[in-house]
Amino acid sequence: MDERDGMATMVETVRELAAGARQAARWLAGTSSRERDELLGAMADELLGATEAILAANSQDLAEAADRPAAFRDRLTLTPERVAQMAGALRQVADRPDPLGRGESWTRPNGLRIHRVRVPLGVVGLIYEARPNVTAEATALALKAGNAILLRGGSEAFRSNQAIVAALRQGARAAGAPAELVSLLPAGRESARALMTTPGVVDVLIPRGGPALIRSVVEEARVPVIETGAGNCHTYVHQDADLEMALRIAVNAKVQRPGVCNAMETLLVHREVAAAFLPRVGEALRAHGVTLRGCPRTRELLPWAEPATDEDWATEYLDLILAVRVVDDLDEALDHIRRYTTGHSEAIVTRSLEAARRFQEEVDAAAVYVNASTRFTDGGEFGFGAEVGISTQKLHARGPMGLEALTTTRYVVEGDGQIR
* Site membership for a second copy, residue 16 (CB under 8 A): no
Angle at which helices 80-95 and 133-144 pack, to 10 degrees?
10
Q: Which amino acid is at 73?
A: R
CA torsion, points 321, 327, 329, 334, in degrees to nearest 10? Answer: -50
Using the contact rule CB under 8 A, the part of the chain among 41-49, 71-79, 127-135, 364-372 near a second copy is 364-372
Q: State the DSSP code for 97.
A: P
Using the contact rule CB under 8 A, the part of the chain among 8-16, 69-77, 83-91, 410-418 near a second copy is 410-418
Using the contact rule CB under 8 A, the part of the chain among 65-73, 186-194, 289-297, 387-395 near a second copy is 387-395
Q: Which amino acid is at 26?
A: R
Neighbouring residues of 398: CB distance < 8 A, sequence distance ≥ 6: 366, 391, 392
* Site membership for a second copy, residue 377 (CB under 8 A): yes
Using the contact rule CB under 8 A, the part of the chain among 40-48, 301-309, 318-326, 380-388 near a second copy is 380-388
* Site membership for a second copy, residue 411 (CB under 8 A): yes
Q: Between 170 and 266, whose beta carbon lies closer to a second copy? A: 266
Q: Between 53 and 340, whose beta carbon lies closer to a second copy? A: 340
Contacting residue, 21, 324, 326, 368, with a second copy by CB under 8 A: 368
Under DSSP, is residue 347 helix (H, G, I), strand (E, B) or coil? strand
Report the candidate in 378, 382, 386, 384 with the shortest Cα–Cα distance to residue 136: 386
Whether residue 217 contacts residue 225, with contact meaning beta carbons closer than 8 Å, is answered with yes
Question: String of b and e for 351-360 (b: at least 16 CB within 10 Å)?
Answer: eeeebbebbe
Q: Between 163 and 390, whose beta carbon lies closer to a second copy? A: 390
Report the candidate in 285, 288, 235 with the shortest Cα–Cα distance to residue 263: 235
Kindly report the number of other CB atoms within 10 A of residue 420's CB atom: 3
Angle at which helices 158-174 and 51-64 pack, to 10 degrees?
160
x-marked contacts with a second copy along 94-123 as a string, rule CB under 8 A: ------------x-x---x-x------xx-
Q: Closest distance between a second copy and the C-beta of residue 206, in Å?
A: 11
Using the contact rule CB under 8 A, the part of the chain among 24-32, 125-133, 276-284, 311-319 near a second copy is 24-32
Q: Between 57 and 221, whose beta carbon lies closer to a second copy? A: 221
Cα–Cα distance for residue pair 323/313, rounded to 1 Å: 7
* Site membership for a second copy, residue 413 (CB under 8 A): yes
Q: Closest distance between a second copy and the C-beta of residue 196, in Å?
A: 13
Q: Between 63 and 110, whose beta carbon lies closer to a second copy? A: 110
Q: Between 47 and 261, whose beta carbon lies closer to a second copy? A: 261
* Site membership for a second copy, residue 204 (CB under 8 A): yes
Contacting residue, 222, 271, 288, 339, with a second copy by CB under 8 A: 222
Q: Between 173 and 394, whose beta carbon lies closer to a second copy? A: 394
Binding to a second copy in span 254-293, by CB under 8 A: 256-257
Alpha-carbon dihedral sign for residues 179, 183, 184, 186: positive
* Site membership for a second copy, residue 418 (CB under 8 A): yes
Q: Between 56 and 412, whose beta carbon lies closer to a second copy? A: 412
Q: Between 309 and 418, whose beta carbon lies closer to a second copy? A: 418
H or E segment to which residue 266 belongs: strand 264-270
Q: For residue 194, count CB atoms less than 10 angstroms from its CB and return exposed for 0-12, middle for 13-18, buried for 19 or more.
A: buried
Cα–Cα distance for residue pair 58/131, rounded to 1 Å: 11
Question: String of b and e for 255-289 (b: at least 16 CB within 10 Å)?
Answer: beebeebbbbbbbbbbeebbeebbeebbebbeeee
Neighbouring residues of 388: CB distance < 8 A, sequence distance ≥ 6: 138, 141, 206, 208, 401, 402, 405, 406
* Site membership for a second copy, residue 409 (CB under 8 A): yes
* Site membership for a second copy, residue 252 (CB under 8 A): yes
Binding to a second copy in span 315-354, by CB under 8 A: none
Binding site for a second copy (CB under 8 A): 26, 29-30, 106, 108, 112, 114, 121-122, 203-204, 219, 222, 224, 226, 242, 245, 248-249, 252-253, 256-257, 356, 360-362, 364-373, 375-377, 381-383, 393-396, 398-399, 408-420
